[in-house]
Amino acid sequence: MTGYLGSYATLGLLLLASVLFFVTAFSANRMLRPGRTADPWGKRTSYECGLDPVGGDWAQMQIRYYVYAYLYVLFAVEAVFLFPWALVFDRPGFGLVTVVEMGVFVAVVALGILYAWRKNILRWT
């Protein structure tokens, strides 16, 4: 199929094949499934970590989980900034300036880590 309309014919055949595959798959699913689904005891109850759900649905979370998530995001962003810097470091015109800029960036991140360490945020109790 060549020419201007040949491209549309190819696209039409592809769409037709995909629709046929979709209809065939869903028809086979409908015909092969059991007529009446099994509903054993406890099948529709919620399940979490091997424990039965007991009590209310409101639970208080400790702030340290959020602090660890925030620190993870901080280090992930640092890695995102370090990778492009490492790629352009050896190119002409990026020598000392990029080293100083990255030194300032790493120093600010190190100050944040030092602050978190001094406040005992990084200690898991």
Give me the residue spans of the domains in the chain: 1-31, 62-124
Give the whole-angstrom CA distance, residue 100 versus residue 63: 35
Whether the CA torsion 94, 96, 98, 99 is positive or negative: it is positive
- Indicate whether this model's pTM tops 0.85: no
CA distance between the termini of the chain:
70
Q: What is the pLDDT of residues 11-51, one digit of tens each?
A: 899 999 999 999 999 999 989 887 766 666 666 666 666 66
- Rounded (10°) angle between helices 95-118 and 63-88: 170
Q: What is the pLDDT of residues 59-101, one digit of tens each?
A: 777 777 787 788 788 778 877 878 877 777 777 777 777 788 8
Give the whole-angstrom CA distance, residue 123 versus residue 125: 6
